[in-house]
């Protein structure tokens, strides 16, 4: 067959030459046609289809592979960024706790942790993420954007990919929380010195601002099964319970006038007031409930009005932030410094044994609850110097060694001893009930007696603060508030 094919094509070639020699431009009938098998093979041949399909699909496949590569780079960079943000804000939140809300130190720690933890991240087109404090300086979060430049997707017109939602909704937030999200409850009683010595300079306004700072931090806005509550105990020569509690804690009366007390040769008659003094007897330094034989003493004054006005009434435990702030703003100054009375009532507000005499919603939770913190904060600007008598006509009248005018004192000796000694005994009782006691001295001027009393009352040395200025006082309250708080991460 090969010979025939060759000779056939030789014949065709010869004929073609003959056409040219004769000047003929087209085929002639006597020229042999191409074999039919050649056409059939051409029609049946599919080898070119694969090349055409590949050519058509190659661009799409290239984009798919490129997209996968870019998405992989994006996911890797995003994972590193999210982890770095979490680490950064948690480190900063912890810095807030241990450095008394030092925002600059916290922000510096956040930035340092973020840079360290993104060192191995793919290079970005831009990264403007920075850290800020929120919620009154008690939380840390991020703002800005981190953008990855694409390699292959830009062929499809997509040049960059943000690693986080540009709205900022995915940025982590480290929050110092009490109650609510902290998943435990906290009850805090705050003893505030409103004696006359607080009138010096800006001391009184400094104290109010410091106390409000604490309330603002520790009282959670949304409270449910877990809660945070604060009670306020203003004290000077006396304490003044709410009128609704008075009969339950001192008895219903009537109370005999206390006389005679002598002032410049004149007899002074003292009458019971809405304020109260200490408790005497076997329960003097316990939190046993008020009952017959263990009531607090009524206080006496030359008139039936109390030296402490209604604005300085005790505020039982509450989670109403606005109410607490308003009551702190309304405090007024008067009198001397019966610090043991404030200490006792700071305990009573936290004691479940006194729940029956407290207003609705203000009864303290049980001792021993692992999900409940009890905190007492005792603040004063000086030495405790006023205590009371309990015998004969001098029941509930200041003893002869107390501060104040002679018309305010009886010729007697307080059976419970000095105010400072009573305060230390009451603090010991609180600590036995697992109440954490913080103490704050304000502008003590090196008064060692006051320092010793506050140091002895504090749960441990780290919980005694000696503030020399209004700013230090405010920092002390904020530091306590932050230590009470728990740190958690939210988005």
Residue 166 is predicted with a pLDDT of 75
Q: What is the mean pLDDT of residues 107-125?
A: 89
pLDDT for position 446: 92
pLDDT at position 307, please?
80
pLDDT in the model for residue 13: 41
The pLDDT of residue 18? 42
From 274-283, 363-372, 394-403, the region with the lowest mean pLDDT? 394-403
Residue 29 has pLDDT above 60, yes or no: no
pLDDT at 25: 47
Residue matched to tokens 């000696």: 466
Token pair, residue 108, equals 């510096």
Mean pLDDT of 429-457: 97
pTM above 0.95, yes or no: no
Confidence of residue 59 (pLDDT cuts 50, 70, 90): low
Higher pLDDT, 73 or 341: 341
Q: Which of 134-143, 262-271, 363-372, 398-407 is predicted with the least confidence, judged by mean pLDDT? A: 262-271
pLDDT at 22: 44
In percent, how much of the chain has pLDDT > 70?
A: 80
Full set of structural domains in the chain with CATH? 58-176 (no CATH), 180-490 (3.40.50.410)
Contacts of 95 (CB under 8 A, 6+ apart): 102, 105, 106, 109
């Amino acid at each position: 067959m090969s010979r025939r094919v060759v000779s056939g094509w030789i014949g065709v070639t010869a004929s073609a030459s003959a056409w040219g020699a004769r000047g003929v431009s087209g085929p002639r009938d006597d020229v042999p046609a191409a074999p039919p098998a050649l056409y059939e093979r051409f029609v049946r041949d599919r080898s070119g289809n694969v090349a055409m399909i590949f050519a058509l699909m190659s661009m799409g496949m290239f984009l798919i592979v490129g997209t996968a590569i870019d998405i992989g780079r994006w996911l890797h960079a995003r994972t590193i960024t999210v982890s770095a943000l979490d680490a950064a804000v948690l480190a900063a939140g912890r810095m807030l706790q241990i450095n008394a809300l030092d925002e600059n130190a916290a922000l510096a720690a956040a930035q340092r942790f973020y840079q360290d933890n993104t060192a191995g991240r793919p290079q970005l087109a831009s990264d403007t993420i920075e850290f800020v404090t929120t919620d009154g300086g008690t939380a840390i979060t991020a703002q800005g954007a981190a953008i990855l430049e694409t390699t292959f997707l830009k062929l499809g017109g997509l040049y960059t990919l943000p690693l986080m939602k540009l709205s900022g909704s995915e940025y982590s937030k480290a929050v110092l929380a009490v109650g609510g999200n902290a998943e435990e409850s906290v009850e805090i009683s705050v003893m505030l010195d409103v004696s006359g010595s607080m009138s010096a300079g800006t001391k009184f306004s400094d104290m109010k601002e410091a106390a409000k700072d604490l309330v603002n931090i520790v009282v959670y806005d949304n409270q449910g099964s877990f809660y945070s509550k604060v009670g306020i105990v203003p004290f000077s020569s006396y304490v003044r319970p709410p009128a609704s509690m008075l009969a339950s804690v001192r008895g219903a009366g009537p109370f005999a006038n206390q006389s005679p007390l002598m002032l410049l040769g004149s007899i002074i008659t003292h009458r019971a007031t809405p304020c109260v003094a200490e408790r005497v007897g076997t329960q003097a330094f316990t939190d046993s409930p008020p009952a017959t034989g263990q009531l607090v003493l009524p206080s006496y004054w030359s008139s039936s009005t109390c030296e402490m006005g209604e604005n300085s009434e005790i505020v039982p435990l509450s989670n109403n932030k606005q109410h607490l702030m308003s009551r702190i703003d309304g405090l007024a100054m008067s009198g001397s410094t019966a610090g043991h009375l404030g200490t006792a009532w700071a305990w009573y507000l936290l004691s479940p044994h006194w729940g029956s005499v407290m207003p609705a919603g203000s009864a303290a939770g049980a001792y021993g609850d692992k999900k409940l913190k009890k905190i007492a904060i005792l603040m004063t600007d000086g030495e405790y110097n006023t205590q009371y008598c309990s015998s004969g006509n001098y029941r509930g009248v200041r003893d002869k060694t107390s501060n104040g005018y002679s018309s305010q004192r009886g010729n007697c000796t307080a059976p419970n001893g000095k105010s400072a000694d009573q305060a230390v005994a009451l603090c010991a009782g609180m600590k036995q009930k697992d109440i954490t006691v913080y103490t704050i001295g304000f502008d003590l001027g090196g008064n060692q007696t006051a320092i010793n009393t506050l140091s002895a009352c504090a749960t441990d040395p780290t919980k005694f603060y000696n503030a020399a200025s209004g700013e230090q006082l405010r920092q002390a309250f904020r530091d306590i508030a932050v230590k009470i708080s728990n740190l958690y991460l939210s988005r």
